[in-house]
Every structure is written in structure tokens, then in C-alpha cells.
Structure 1
Amino acid sequence: MLEQINESIHLIDLNFLGHSQAIAAYLLRGEQEAALVEVGPASTVNTLLHALEQAGVSPSQLRHLLVTHIHLDHAGALGVLMQRLPEAVCYVHPIGAPHLADPSRLIASASRLYGELMDTLWGPVLPVPSERIRVVRDGERIEVAGRTLIALDTPGHARHHHAYLDEASGLLFAGDIAGVRMPHTTYVRPPTPPPELDLEAWQASLAKLRALPIRQLALTHFGVFADVTRHLDELEHRLLAWGEFTRQLVEQGLSDEQIITALQEYGNAEMQALGVEPTSYDLGAGYQLIALGYARYWRKVLITDKPNRFGNGC
């Protein structure tokens, strides 16, 4: 599915596992070339290429592939796409770049979380030729498809995370730093998978975004939203509130499974009270990974006796 955002930017619904509104890629079209922000997993490559064909974009025209971070739902298709797109180069955070050239550690880490579902969920994760990887630094201006995108180092969800601000339109391609939200809702869920969740860094990233002239948020999970300030405020509130909730469970010595169950009950009750369908969010940010991310974070904090400097009791 193609959805026009403005005169030269389209949202592509990658129809992940046959579900709409789970993972988006964003197509930027210029006069001579095209670019993508996010490419999704390798399991959705055919859907992506079909959408590009529908948009009238040939493989030789697609020359720039920007990913907000290297998690497989955002960047897993890069290796496969490099075999299909002869002119393309990819743009990635410096911390993520080595794991695109050699994805063995990335695959091993994901396999610990997904086990036998790895291939079904993500498809083949292939290395990206190093000569086709461009490392992007914080604040760098990238000229692609007739637009200028500003790279913004935004850790918290992952250390290797960039958001990209379209300078002309004020549209922010936010990756996961701005959370998960479904169309026609206001509810924002924090995606906090292990192993790199950092609440303090996430708060700093949100403060950085608030200082910028952002007019719309383009979320990978899922869609474009204009209520920027309200959205970011709600995300920060829930990020910290769920952090406090899970911290107490960790301190009580609950197991991972108990924490997952408790957070799911807590989150579902919250969503149902607001009239939001909980399962619509699960493909973008499921409770299992959210809970495991918080649990790992708090156990590390408690072991190292890191000072507690968060709001809302976190």
C-alpha cells in the first residue's frame, strides 16, 4: 500500500506477516533519483519492491537507503536489497555500521530473542558490502532525492539510533525514539527491547527533539502524526511510568515471565480504559520485549547502584 504524505514523500505499508499498519518504509522521490527511509525486514522485500514498481520507481533510480537503526524490523532487508538495487548505498549510525558489514553478532543476538521464528519473522539477514555503507554523524546534512535530511543522534531505544529531519517540511523520520502509535489513536507505547534501553539517554533524546522545528512525526510503527508536543510528552510519561512499575517488580525479585505478565495486564488495562485495542500495538512493540528490556535495564542499574535521576519516581 502506498500513501501520499506530501508532494514527494510516500508511506509504504510493508504488510509484515500479512498485517497492515505494522511496519512502514518511507519513499522520497526526486526528479532523477529516489530514496527510502527504513527498509523493513528481508521477509517483506517483495512487498517493498512491488510498491516501488507501483510508484514508478525503477531499481536503478533507488540510490539511497537510510535506516534509523539496525534492528531487523528496520534494516534487516539491507543485505538482500543490495543484491537487487545496483546503484544503492545505505546510510547508518557509526555504531551500527560494522554490524551491517558482518551481521553475525546481530543475528546471534536476535536469535536469542526469537529462536525458531527468526526466518519467518525477518527472512535472510545478509551482509552489506562495506563499500556501499556510508557512516552518518550527528548533525550531518544528507542530500537525497532533492531533499535535505539532518541526522540526529537519538539514543535511548538503541545506541545506534538516528532520527532524520526533513529540513524543508519539518517531517521527522523518527524510527523508534518517538514510540509506537497506531493511526486514528492518540495512545503512544514505548518500545523498550533489550539490550540497550537507557531511560536517561531516551529523555535526553526527547529533549533534543523538542528543541527542533518538527511539524510531523513519521513513525515506522506506524504512520504520520502532527500533534508533536503532545505525542512526545505522552511517550515520556509512559516510558517513565512503565519504568517505575517494572523497577518495583525487579526489586521484588519477580521472574521475567512474571514481569511480562504483570506489564501486559497493566498496559492492557490502561489501553482498554482509553478505548484502544491492545493487540493492534503488539507487532510494533510487544509486551515480552518491552518487559525484558526494562528488566535487564533495572537489574543492571541495581547491580551497579547507578544514581536514580529520573522523574515520576524512576
Structure 2
Amino acid sequence: MRAGDGITIIDTGFGERPAFCAAWLLVENGRAAFIDCGTLHSVPNMLAALDAAGLAPDAVDWLIATHVHLDHAGGAGALLRELPAAKLVVHPRGAPHLVDPAKLIASARQVYGDALFEVAYGGLVPAPAERVLEAADGQVLDLAGRPLLLAHTPGHALHHLSVWDERTRAWFTGDAFGISYRELDVDGRSFAIPTTSPVQFDPLQMKDSIRRLLAAGPKVCHVTHFGAVRDVQRVGLRLIEQVDAMVALAQFLDDAPERHEALKQALTKLYVDRARIHGVTDPERVVPALLEMDIELNAQGLVAWLERERRAAGRSQL
């Protein structure tokens, strides 16, 4: 789907759910960049978008991974094989895991099991080290005269970066600016929630990253899940408020029996209540159905953060 100004949004097909996971094609003067790429299964979608733009695979200069979670970058090595001129751009903390994805594969198989891993992700192809560029904070890539600034934006993950396109005053934010499904839009206003999925969620870093994104005065944030958020300042401030609310719930329920389940229920109520205020119709039905996976992952990430905080407190007392 063309978004104008040389930007095409690509539905990567992840999870077999439409409008769930996005990647982008940027075109300038006959040269191209991809931002995120989905999984191994997404490679045909990426190449089809390039073909629809009238470009050959050797027109792609950059394949930028906002972070190395598999729904964003699982297909990077395989796609790189099809793009002879492209460099893979990734945060320095993430680069080793795309060059040697053994740890990513082992972790995903442990979480999902072998059968589901193959269905969801299809495996990972190592990226050649000589074709990987480790992105410095503030580094600017040149896309045929169109500058793309790379900003380290941790909070969701330590290996997260966002991409600033000055031409459109737009951020491509991966998961740093939360998730915002178009089904929850009301009168052109976006509804978004933070994504605290395991294992590197950090509330202070996440809020600082959101503030950094807002400070650029963007007209739009392109979020991986899913699409364009245009009322950026309002959504960003609400995200910061929600980070604090989610952390408070996690701390309050830290000693609760069945902590994980209790936290899922509390998060569901938080999102339902906020969606009702936003104007979503029938939020008690719509929100749990649409956000089921996100609520599960957010609860997991908050519990992982609580455990990390507990270990840090224990070390400080030694």
C-alpha cells in the first residue's frame, strides 16, 4: 500500500493476520531501502513490493532492522541473499545475533516449540558479517540524497533503533512507540499501548525513548504493529502514562497468587478502560480479542522486569 513520498507499507503476513506486522519500502531516485522485513516467510512479500515499485533487487541499498526480534528481522539473512547491493543495518547489540542466529533460534524454539517455530518463523539464515553495518546513535544513511537518521531507542529492547525521515518528518519506530492497530482508530485518532514483551523491557529507557521521538516534532510515526500514527504528541504522552500505570500494576501484584494471570487480567482491564474513554465501541469484547497476544507478552515482560529488579536489589545489598 503506497503511503506517498516514496513510502510503501508492506504487510509481512506474520501470524496469518492481516494488518498485524508491517515493513516499509522507501524509494528515492531509483534507489531503495527496506525498514524491517518480517520472517523468512515474509521474503516473497518484500520482493513483491519491490517489483510493484518497478525496481530490481539490486536497487536496494539498505535493509534496516529496527531490532532483532524475529517478527521484525527474522527474514533478514534470507532477504539479503536476494539483494546483491544491500547492507544490513542493525544496532551493535543486535548485529552478532543476525550474523550467528543460533541463540535467537534456540530461544525461540524453547518458547514456541520446534513445530510452532517452523510454522511461525521458518528458520533463520545467517547474515554475512561483511554485509552488516552496526548503526551508531545519530548516524545518517544516504538513500540517493535522502538522509535517514538512526537513533538508538531502548526500552522495548536494548538493541532497538528508530529511523527518522526528514523528508516526511516521520519516524519508523519498530516497537519503540508502542503498538496501534487500525481497528481501534476512532474518528482518525489512534489508540496505542506500550509493548513490554520479554526480556529487556526497561520503563525509564522506554519513556526516555518516547520523549526523544516526540522532541523531533514528527508528523507521523510508522509503527510495526501496525501502520501510521498521526496524532503523535497525544499518543506519545498517553504511552508514557501507560508505562507508569503498567509498572504500578506489576509492582502491586508482585506477591499475588498466580501473579502472571492476575497481571494479565489487570492489564486487560487497563486497556479496556482506556479504549472505552477513547471511544472504541464494545471494548470489553474487542480489546481482549484484538490484544490477546500483546497482553500475554506484556505480562511476561513485566514479570521479567520485576525479577531483574529483584536480582539487582539483592546485589546492591551484598
TM norm structure 1: 0.89
Partner of 2:309: 301
Q: 1:125 and 1:98 mapped to 2: Cα distance?
A: 13
- Cα shift at 1:182: 1.5
- Cα shift at 1:258: 4.1
Partner of 2:224: 220
Partner of 1:108: 106
- Cα shift at 1:11: 1.0
**Do the aligned partners of 1:14 and 1:23 also contact (CA within 8 Å) in 2?**
yes
- Alignment partner for residue 248 of structure 1, among 247, 252, 261? 252
Q: 1:270 and 1:210 mapped to 2: Cα distance?
A: 21
| Superposed CA offset, 1:165-191 (max 9, x none) | 112221100110100001234211111
- Cα shift at 1:9: 1.1
- Cα shift at 1:213: 2.8
2:139 corresponds to 1:140:
yes
Partner of 2:295: 287
**Do the aligned partners of 1:182 and 1:280 also contact (CA within 8 Å) in 2?**
no
Partner of 2:242: 238
Q: 1:160 and 1:238 mapped to 2: Cα distance?
A: 22
Partner of 2:127: 128
RMSD (Å) for aligned C-alpha atoms: 2.0
- Cα shift at 1:263: 3.1
Partner of 1:278: 287
2:180 corresponds to 1:181:
yes
More helix by share: 2
Q: 1:281 and 1:243 mapped to 2: Cα distance?
A: 22
- Cα shift at 1:162: 0.5
- Cα shift at 1:85: 1.8
**Do the aligned partners of 2:170 and 2:218 also contact (CA within 8 Å) in 1?**
yes
Partner of 2:160: 161
**Do the aligned partners of 1:247 and 1:295 also contact (CA within 8 Å) in 2?**
no
**Do the aligned partners of 1:180 and 1:281 also contact (CA within 8 Å) in 2?**
no
**Do the aligned partners of 2:95 and 2:134 also contact (CA within 8 Å) in 1?**
yes
**Do the aligned partners of 1:272 and 1:278 also contact (CA within 8 Å) in 2?**
no
2:233 corresponds to 1:229:
yes
| Superposed CA offset, 1:41-82 (max 9, x none) | 112222222222222221111221011111111111111112
**Do the aligned partners of 2:268 and 2:288 also contact (CA within 8 Å) in 1?**
no
2:198 corresponds to 1:199:
no
**Do the aligned partners of 1:246 and 1:263 also contact (CA within 8 Å) in 2?**
no
- Alignment partner for residue 88 of structure 1, among 86, 95, 106? 86
- Cα shift at 1:136: 0.7
Q: 2:232 and 2:274 mapped to 1: Cα distance?
A: 22
Q: 1:206 and 1:158 mapped to 2: Cα distance?
A: 13
Letter in 2 for 1:164: V
Identity %: 32
- Cα shift at 1:298: 1.3
Letter in 1 for 2:9: L
Partner of 1:26: 24
Partner of 1:74: 72
SS in 2 for 1:43: helix
Partner of 1:9: 7
Size of the aligned set, in residue pairs, is 303
Please give the residue correspondences for 1:53-64 in structure 2 after superposition, counting only pairs within 5 Å: 53-64=51-62
SS in 1 for 2:253: helix
SS in 1 for 2:57: coil
Q: Which runs of 5 or more structure 1 residues have no equivalent in the other structure?
A: 307-314
Q: 2:208 and 2:116 mapped to 1: Cα distance?
A: 34
